[in-house]
Structure 1
Amino acid sequence: MVLLRSLRWFFLLFTFGQLNEQYVRATWPLLNCSAIKLLGLFPDSVNTSERSELVIHSSAMFKAAVILSQQYNITIDEQFIGWEAVQTDGKAINAVSSTCHAISTSNIVGIVGPVLSRESPIIASFGERVGIPVISFGATDPDLSDRNAYPVFYRTVPSDYAAASAIVQLFIRFNWTSCTIIYQSDAYGSGGLKVLTQAFIDNDVIVATT
C-alpha cells in the first residue's frame, strides 16, 4: 500500500514537472534579436512547400544552438548572436547568391552549411575571401580537408576517408577480393569514388568496374 502511494506521488510530480517544462521551454529567437548573425544554408527548394527531414532537423538544431548561446551569455562585441537562414535548392550558384545577399544586408560573422559537397567548395572559397568561417554539417568531400585550399572551412562530419576505411576493413574481414562500385554522378559521388578506389588499391582489392 505504501509503495502504491509512493508511486502515485512520483507520477504526479513527474506530470507536473513535464507540464512546467513545456511552459518554460524557450522559443525560437527572432530574426531581429541581434545585429550580429550566423547564416544558415539549407538545401530545400524555395519553390516547394514540402521540407525534407534533413532540413527540418538541421534548421531546428541551428536555431537551438543560437538559443543556447544566448542562454549561456555567449556574445560577440557584447551582443547576443542572432541568426538568418536561406534555402539554396542544393545548387552552388544559389548558395553563393543567397550568401552574398545576406552578407550585404546583415552583419554575418559565420556560415553554418552548406550540407552538400557540391555547394561547399565555392562557399568555402567565398568565406576565405571575405574572412568568414564556414562550418558544414553534411559535406563529406575529402578535398575539403585540404587546409591550404580551404583554410576557413570546417565540418562536423568526417570525410569520405572514414567511410572508405570502414568498407575496406569489411572486405578484409570477409576475404573479399574484388568489387563493382556504383556511385551517384556528382561531387559527393565522385569524391567518394576516388577515395574508395584508392583505399581498395592500397589493400589489394580489385575494382572490376565502376
Structure 2
Amino acid sequence: MANTNNTNATKFNVTFGILGIDAVPANAAVLLNECHKRINGKLESVTEFMAVEGVKSTKNEDLVLPVLAVMLADARKRGGFASDFKVVVVNGENIETKLTAKSAFTKWLKGNVIYKSNSQGELNKALVLDEGMHLRNTALRVTEKQPLFSAKGDSQRVLLFQTAKAITKQATMFKDIMGEAKSIFNAAYNVPAKPAASTETKTEDAAA
C-alpha cells in the first residue's frame, strides 16, 4: 500500500504509508497523521506516515531540511498553478478564475513531532515542539512572503539551512517565552533595596 515517490536518483525519497501495515524507510524524517481509512471494506482509525529520506546526520537541522524541501516545493508549485490559471480572457475581458491548488502536505503539519527512523525503520522522537506549538506554527509552513519562496542558487541554499535552524529554535520558543515571563513577573514583585545613607549625611548628623 505504501506509495514511494523517487524525486532524486541519489538519496532523496518520499514514502507514504500506514503504520503497522507498511514498512517505514530507514534513516528518514517521518511525520504522522491520525485519520480514518477504509481497510478491507471497514472504516478504521489509522496512523498515516510520510517518510522523507535524505537525513544526513542526527542534527535537528539535518532532520528538518528534507521536510522543508518538500514543503517549499509544494508552496512553489501551488503558487505557480494559481498564477498560471489566475486570469482568463473572455471577449476581451479579463476574468479572475479564483482557481487554487489544494496542498497535499499541510495535513502533515498538524502534529508537534518530527520523528527519525533508525536503521530498522523504527521511530524515535527526534524534534519535539513545546506544548502548545504545532509544526504548522513554524516556518515549515512556507508562504510566498518568505524570501526562501523565490530564492535561487546560493541564496536558496543558505536560506534553506538558516530556515531549518530557525525551525529547531522555534521548537523550544514557547518554553523560552515562559521562562522570560517568569523572570519579568518575579522582578515586578521584588522589593527594591533601601538606599544606603550617604557619608555626608552621617557626618552632619554626628556634628548636630
Query: TM-score, normalized by length of structure 1?
Result: 0.27
Rg larger for = 2
Q: Report which of the two has the higher share of strand.
A: 2
Q: Report which of the two has the higher share of helix.
A: 1
